[in-house]
Chain A
């Protein structure tokens, strides 16, 4: 039964096109369109900040140099140091800059004297997330610098402190440590996440990842439609009645059909994963990916039975199927991250096959282990069972 269905399927070129070619095309289109939407060029994608150094001494320059030299920060921030203070502040107000750090005139003098210093930070509320990361790095640098000055003061005197703080390497180290700290509390990642939602160039890969998962889940759902087409087809093309006159049992007939849908779905999933991996999509833990994929396909198989039981004709499947798939796809986040939906509706996505599946794939893509997505797999299996039970109870044979 399943084998026969696979052969039938392999001869159905339009269906193959829908189930395999369309998702791949969509993944490419969505991944790259959104990837370059705000990107423009390679350099313009960074969070823009400015540092205005008013320090009369040399230490201020070290601070700003450190920001432009530290590798991880350079990937995130595009630092301008040449703007006059008023222009820089206006830039923040316009939103051209995410933040502005003003290093005061007396920084060197005060540090050398071991006195507390204050650096001013202006941020654009519209770019809160980017600005907050900059803030946390700056604050971290500030803490270390002042700690160093206190240490210097109490142990070896101002001269020594002055030497120590004017050493460029030390400053770089402070900034690096600050970046480490910011990374440790997740601040850098937050920027990465936000970048991806906004779709910047460094997020191009991520948009591709996102849509690879989203579209795969959605088109696996179309597999349910195909399965239902095939089941209803058996009914309207008289092969189902004929099957029921053979000694083969009803459950074997339905089971064989479901087995076919399942194998087909897994094969489709395999091809999509292989293809998108070749494009550079990182799916994460292979076992977890397999499990979530199997969960989605299982739910799809259950859905097949449900749709077949609701639809009397192929046309009805053509009506019910896409609506079911698209609603689930939209609520589940296949088209866009569900974060942009109204808050009250967001939890609904856990009730959809696409949502549960996508959630699992996203978790795996950002490094979760197979065991972390087991709840998703269980939820999907539960949905599969629910669909199947409702569908089987309604399934018509005559």
Chain B
């Protein structure tokens, strides 16, 4: 399949700060493409340039053959956008909001009515359609926020952190929705700082940090970057700097990072270094609660590539 999005050398500068720094990637038609990176990595800024909201300081984006620089109108006709913020009118009901956004996407009459009903069903909120948005829970707002972006059956859906700050139930609903839309043929660009979501949903992933793409490819390709390393997660009482240093000194340990109440250790042979690591921790006075040895995931890829954890 062809590429529906081509991002080439995309750059955005705010004064001295380069929020997006020469980003390049392609999105294939029909896939779910993940844009994974911690807060402040430049994901929203990138998405905003793809959706013609921000003008690039450099580089270009082509969407379905239309350049954001020369043909923003053409780009917008292909796109559906689900912004990071809830962009709805709080005093209007769900159905009024959807009707409005449908009209803004050029729908009208019977088709509009049909699509609004369909979107409400997709959001699982048909029975709450006549409630004002302001009375909704965060998760319900998020679902309508998504529904408003897909009313017009866009070829390409850009989703910017669609699950931020919501309950697990709504999150699952949203992940299922994304999978369903994709199964129906919609290409999705899914932005998140939740590794699990991207791991679960996406076919291909670009990992971004400090405005740059640090890796891009299928999940398997990315895991390959870590090689045959294991990830040892050790839950500890107190991960002092001294403990960290002593673990780092253990032979066979590639990398160590601290992440809320635990240490993450990358090693070629997790099983073999484990005893020495635990011994080093005991010497440093740290109490270990649990130990977990896993095959690498995107989290460990990120750790490996950037030396920092994804979590904030």
For A, the interface residue count at a CB cutoff of 8 angstroms equals 18
In chain A, positions 220-247 with a C-beta closer than 8 Å to chain B are 237-239, 241-247
- Decide if B86 touches A238 in the complex (CB within 8 Å): yes
**Known interface pairs A4-B96, A398-B53. Does A245 touch B91 (Cβ–Cβ under 8 Å)?**
no
- Decide if A7 touches B96 in the complex (CB within 8 Å): yes
Partner of A247, one of B48, B76, B92: B76
Instruction: Among A12, A244, A246, find the residue whose CB has the most chain B CB atoms closer than 10 A.
Output: A246
Per-residue contact bits, chain A 160-204, to B (CB 8 Å; 1 contact, 0 not): 000000000000000000000000000000000000000000000
Count of chain A to chain B residue pairs whose CB atoms are closer than 8 Å in the complex: 58
B158 to chain A, nearest CB (A): 8
CB-based nearest B residue for A244: B53
- Decide if A241 touches B87 in the complex (CB within 8 Å): yes
CB-based nearest B residue for A237: B87
**Alpha-carbon gap, A238 to B52, bound state (A):** 15
Does A11 reach chain B (CB closer than 8 Å)? yes
- Decide if B73 touches A247 in the complex (CB within 8 Å): yes
**Known interface pairs A4-B96, A244-B53, A245-B76. Does A239 touch B106 (Cβ–Cβ under 8 Å)?**
no
- Decide if A246 touches B105 in the complex (CB within 8 Å): yes
**Alpha-carbon gap, A248 to B72, bound state (A):** 11
Does B124 reach chain A (CB closer than 8 Å)? no
**Known interface pairs A245-B51, A247-B76. Does A238 touch B91 (Cβ–Cβ under 8 Å)?**
no
Instruction: Among A7, A239, A243, find the residue whose CB has the most chain B CB atoms closer than 10 A.
Output: A239
Does A393 reach chain B (CB closer than 8 Å)? no
Partner of B79, one of A4, A237, A238, A245: A245
Per-residue contact bits, chain B 57-77, to A (CB 8 Å; 1 contact, 0 not): 000000000000000010011
**Alpha-carbon gap, A8 to B104, bound state (A):** 16
- Decide if A12 touches B73 in the complex (CB within 8 Å): no
- Decide if B83 touches A247 in the complex (CB within 8 Å): no
**Alpha-carbon gap, A241 to B86, bound state (A):** 11
- Decide if B89 touches A241 in the complex (CB within 8 Å): no
The interface size bin for chain B is 20 to 34
**Alpha-carbon gap, A273 to B206, bound state (A):** 62
**Known interface pairs A4-B96, A245-B53. Does A239 touch B89 (Cβ–Cβ under 8 Å)?**
yes
- Decide if B77 touches A247 in the complex (CB within 8 Å): yes
Does B183 reach chain A (CB closer than 8 Å)? no
CB-based nearest A residue for B76: A247
**B92 cross-chain contacts in A, Cβ below 8 A:** 4, 7-8, 11
**Alpha-carbon gap, A247 to B48, bound state (A):** 15
**Alpha-carbon gap, A126 to B51, bound state (A):** 73
- Decide if B104 touches A11 in the complex (CB within 8 Å): no
Partner of B91, one of A8, A244, A246, A248: A8
Partner of B83, one of A4, A7, A242: A242
A248 to chain B, nearest CB (A): 5
- Decide if B52 touches A4 in the complex (CB within 8 Å): no
- Decide if A246 touches B89 in the complex (CB within 8 Å): no
**B100 cross-chain contacts in A, Cβ below 8 A:** 4
Does B101 reach chain A (CB closer than 8 Å)? yes
- Decide if A238 touches B83 in the complex (CB within 8 Å): yes
- Decide if A238 touches B53 in the complex (CB within 8 Å): no
**B81 cross-chain contacts in A, Cβ below 8 A:** 242, 245
**A246 cross-chain contacts in B, Cβ below 8 A:** 76, 101, 104-106
- Decide if A238 touches B85 in the complex (CB within 8 Å): yes
6 residue pairs from A and B, CB less than 8 Å apart: A8-B89, A11-B92, A241-B87, A245-B53, A245-B76, A398-B54
- Cβ-closest 4 pairs across A and B: A238-B87, A242-B87, A238-B85, A11-B91
